[in-house]
Structure 1
Amino acid sequence: MAAAIDIKALGTAQVQSLLSNFQYDIEFNGYLSNHVKHAIIALAGLGAKDERIQEYWDEYTLETPYGIKLDPVSESARAIAAGPPTLDEAGARALIGLKKDFASLCCSFDRELDAGVEATLQKWMPVLVDGIPGALTHGIIHLGWALAAGNRWMTVEGLAYLAFAHVSVHPGRFGEETVEGTTPLETLRALPDLGEFRDEVKKSTKYSETDFHPEIVASGFQWQVAKVLEEGHPFFYKRPAWLDEPLDDLLRHLYDLVALLHVVYDGNFLVLHAITSLWGLDRTLRAMKADDAFARHAYRCFWVMLLALLATSAAGLPSAAELDAVAERVDADDPPNWADVSRAAIYQQEEHNIKLVFCCLDLWRRYGKANLFAVAATKFTETPNIGPAAASSFSA
């Protein structure tokens, strides 16, 4: 396996300064995640000059690609985050999933990191890893990308955001009944049609807007994912046979699956998050030096999250014939010119595409220049139509 991109070696003092900034809140408009720091890391990884990195920061913090402005951190929240901890460990645990007191959680995790990054992750990831679907996976993205960049404050934010936005995959329901398939792709083929299940959950009256995750009701899809996970489907909790594969093979197969799905869906916004969040989880497990058992548990949590995202999506699940056809075509395609793709990404406004290209380039280097990751990198997504901003597409 080739070496992954070393963000720490690429990041400048200016990049680290931006990642340590606490001027803007982790969410804005009530439910949208602030992605600007992810973009800064990806731009650095793609070799963008400091001037372009600063320009992107200035543009995004003035107005996001949605056409909606970021929310500034209040003076009182800044004081809390910078002051002495107001939460003990029990108090921090009590806030998990409540989407309350983010600044206090930051202060608490800042103190926790005094024990060292590895020790803090080993203590807290067993508590937080099942909540990776929260905020549409942006907690684990924020944490994993912060760890890759070696930035303490962003790591604090990532841990706090995982706790703040936690939505569980319910690992207590994990069973030992095995579902066959030597790879995640093969297991996905065995997935039953979940359309009826999803529709029943969406219209269920037991998940009211006032007492079931009311803080994410406004986000629509995030609320529906939370309901699908809360209800659960028996298939989610069966034990995939590939979970016993060597960890390096297991991870490679998960990356292959999410990249293939991104190509099949032709740049689907939701599937793109599966790529960037798996990359974040991967970097987190490396930073904590996770043991074998915990790494397998974490990837099982990711698998359930992925199934829930696919089940909730209106796009529906691709057929086995679609998957095979795209896989065959990808292998036969001429690889794109990475210089062109990277240049296009660096000058994107839509930060998801910058992150997509960075992740795919990293995976292409790590996994023997596999064409799948090169093709996936060209499948730019469009900014969701929730604001006045225009859509964004790939052009070299």
Structure 2
Amino acid sequence: MTFYSTPNYSEYLHEWLKRGRNWHIEYEGYLSNHITHNWIALDAAGANHKKMQWWEDTYTKKATNKATKATKTTGKITISAANKLEAPRNNPIDYTEITDTNWLNNLQSIRIAFPLYRDFFDKKIAELGLSACLNRYYPALSEGMAGAALHATIHLGWAVDVESADMAAEGLAYMATAFQPLATGSIHTKHQLWSPDAPSPIQALKQILNDDRIPQLTETADSLSKTQDYKKLNRGSFQQRLITFDNPGQPMSLFLNEVVTLRLPDMGHDLTTAIEELSVIAASALLGSNNEFFILHGLTSLHAVLCVLPHLDENAQRNALGYWFRALVATIIIQGSPGMKDTLALLEKWNANEGNEKASGYQLSDEQKAWWLQTLKSTTDSLDEHVPKAVYVLKRWAEWQSFSSASNDLYAKAARNMVAANASGEVQDNLRFSKRLSKASQDNRRRYD
């Protein structure tokens, strides 16, 4: 299988990523720390030290006083008020050491064991090397990749892409402590993650979204997440809704195990065609939903999973893609299927293309490469890191050279829509969220992560 190559990151990127450990992986209870993710996107855009430092100052609110003063004189908000990182945390209790004997027993430990898991994976990466460590531990962790709104998966995959051991150990630890399966445990009805005989991913998504049960599943997940048992989890409204899909006997988990099976070729066959279709689904959903926040996480997390796949055996690769697809479907449902009619129309159009437009191995021209770089550069002043992150992923997929021109056209349309509100090339405002967000999302508009 041919995976896309890594960009030429700068020699000083790893020094910035090491600084990520100056802050905890979460803040304000359950929001995810994105500081390192955007350093990667900025570096890929050719950002200099000044720009990288600007992002640190912006994201950590070191410039709060200066920003407040500017707001009074200009009337413009210059610093996002949502982000305030926290210092690394110490365990509030004497927690057991994480070892190879008990590491699986302590999954989903409500974040309490994060520093111990990070220390454990620091040692394992040093002992085994990053690739062997991923091969050993990622397959079990991938079952819970939906945890923390997919941010643990994102943190790890983006670290693997740039070969940052510091960030990768954090990502593995975060996947362990935020571990959230979706109706795949032994207490659930029998499930099948993937099969060569399942409908194509696009056809499967069409069947899922047209299922008459979807509106009721959305409502049930929302109402159940507001009961006292779920509110006590204090994971945020999105994650609490997602967790309902792992509740045995509830219609959400039964639906996943009845309907959601990802078609993938059997062992020994190349995955590139299936991966292209999944990337097209992620890009179409982002575009069709007009940049709905959690749909965007589906796109950036798929990139993360693809970065890890080369380090896994064939079965683990297929399981990881199956877990991702299941998480995307659950996300779409609990968000009220935002813009999915438009998404399905985009997928139908892509699926209908024949001949040269669907021929694989499309290579970008020099003019197209320059356009992608300029588009990514135009996002680097954004106060919301999701803007450059999404454009960066779309750019990476466009550069894969194993996909079709039809796919590349779709990636470009999604990128244009991401920056369309700022035609001047300056993206000073936060991500232009969809007006078609689910009611559950609107109720918690900036409590998303």
Q: TM class by shorter-chain length?
A: 0.7 to 0.9
Aligned twin of 2:397: 363
Question: Contact 2:30/2:234 (CA < 8 Å) preserved in 1?
Answer: yes
Counterparts of 1:233 and 1:12, CA distance in 2: 49
Change (3 A) 1:179 1:209: farther
- Quote the Cα distance in structure 2 between the aligned partners of 1:250 and 1:325: 17
1:166-221 residue CA offsets vs partner (Å, 9 max, x unmatched) = 1102334423897976531111111113111232233248x8534x584344x111
Amino acid at match of 1:50: H
Deviation at 1:284, TM superposition (A): 1.0
Aligned residue number for residue 324 of structure 2 = 302
- What is the rounded CA distance, in whole Å, between the counterparts of 2:412 and 2:300 in structure 1? 15
SS at match of 1:296: helix
Residue 19 of structure 1 corresponds to which residue in structure 2? Answer: 17
The letter for the 1-side match of 2:117 is: L
Are 1:310 and 1:317, in contact at CA under 8 Å, matched by a contact in 2?
A: no
Measured at CA, do residues 10 and 175 of structure 1 come closer, stay the same or move farther in structure 2, by a change above 3 Å?
A: closer
For residue 257 of structure 1, the aligned residue among 281, 291, 296 is 281
Percent identity of equivalent pairs: 22
SS of the residue aligned with 1:324? helix
Q: Which moved more, 1:290-299 or 1:147-156?
A: 290-299
TM-score w.r.t. the length of structure 2 is: 0.74
TM-score (norm: length of structure 1) = 0.84
Q: Return the alpha-carbon distance in structure 2 between the equivalents of residues 3 and 96 of structure 1.
A: 30
- Structure 1 pair 388–161 and aligned structure 2 pair: CA distance change class (3 A): closer
2:108 equivalent to 1:97: yes
SS state at 1:89 partner: coil
Does the aligned pair in 1 maintain the 2:183–2:256 contact within 8 Å? no
Paired amino acid for 1:93: L
Shift in Å, 1:87: 2.3
Give the deviation of 1:44 after TM superposition.
1.2
Give 1:311 shift: 0.8
Structure 2 stretches of 5 or more lacking a match?
A: 65-78, 358-367, 419-430, 434-440
Pair 1:108 & 2:120 matched: yes
Letter in 2 for 1:250: A
- AA aligned to 1:271 is I
Partners of 2:337 and 2:445 in 1: how far apart? 21
Checking the alignment, whether the CA contact within 8 Å between 1:236 and 1:304 is kept in structure 2 is no
1:382 aligned onto 2:422: no
1:368 offset after TM fit, Å? 5.0
Task: Specify the SS of the correspondent of 2:307.
Answer: helix
Could you tell me whether the CA contact under 8 Å between 1:259 and 1:376 is conserved in 2? yes
Deviation at 1:243, TM superposition (A): 5.2
Shift of residue 108 of structure 1? 1.1
Instruction: Look up the match of 1:392.
Output: none
Give the Å deviation of 1:145: 0.4
- Alpha-carbon separation, structure 2, partners of 1:341 and 1:20: 27
Listed one character per residue, the Cα deviations across residues 296-332 of structure 1 (whole Å, up to 9, x for unaligned) are 111111111111001100344623x762257649999
| Distance in 2 separating the partners of 1:202 and 1:98 | 24
Native 8 Å contact 2:287 2:343 kept in 1: no
1:393 matched to which residue of 2? none
CA gap 1:94/1:12 in 2 versus in 1, 3 angstroms: same
In structure 2, distance between residues paired with 1:310 and 1:229: 16
Asked if the contact 2:159–2:167 (Cα under 8 Å) also holds between the matched residues in 1, the reply is yes
Cα distance change, pair 388–233 in 1 and its aligned pair in 2 (3 A): closer
CA distance in 1, matches of 2:56, 2:323: 33
Q: Comparing 183-192 with 256-265, which one deviates more in the overlay?
A: 183-192
Deviates more, 1:60-69 or 1:223-232: 60-69
| Alpha carbons 1:105, 1:160 under 8 Å: kept | yes
Cα deviation for residue 120 of structure 1 reads 1.4
Residue 209 of structure 1 is matched in structure 2 by: 228
Aligned mates of 1:303, 1:226 — CA distance in 2:
16
Q: 1:48, CA displacement in angstroms?
A: 1.8
SS of 1:174 mapped into structure 2: coil
CA contact (8 A) 2:196 2:265 kept: no
Q: How far 1:91 sits from its partner (Å)?
A: 3.8
SS of the counterpart of 1:70? coil
Q: How does 1:28-39 map to 2 (within 5 A)?
A: 28-39=27-38
Given residue 147 of structure 1, which amino acid in structure 2 is its aligned partner?
A: V
One-letter amino acid matched to 1:318: M
Are 2:99 and 1:88 aligned?
Answer: yes
Partners in 2 of 1:213 and 1:115 — Cα distance? 40
Deviation at 1:16, TM superposition (A): 0.8
Task: Please list, as runs of the form range in 1=range in 2, the aligned pairs for 1:308-347 lying within 5 A after superposition.
Answer: 308-316=330-338, 318-319=340-341, 323-324=344-345, 328=349, 337-347=371-381
Alignment RMSD (CA, Å): 3.3
Matched ranges for 1:191-230 at <5 A:
191=208, 192-193=211-212, 194-204=214-224, 208-210=227-229, 212=230, 214-217=232-235, 219-230=236-247
Cα distance in 2, alignment partners of residues 377 and 339 from structure 1: 12
Amino acid at match of 1:87: I
With over 3 angstroms needed to count, the CA separation of the structure-2 counterparts of 1:126 and 1:151, relative to structure 1, is same
Give the equivalent residue in structure 1 for 2:205.
188
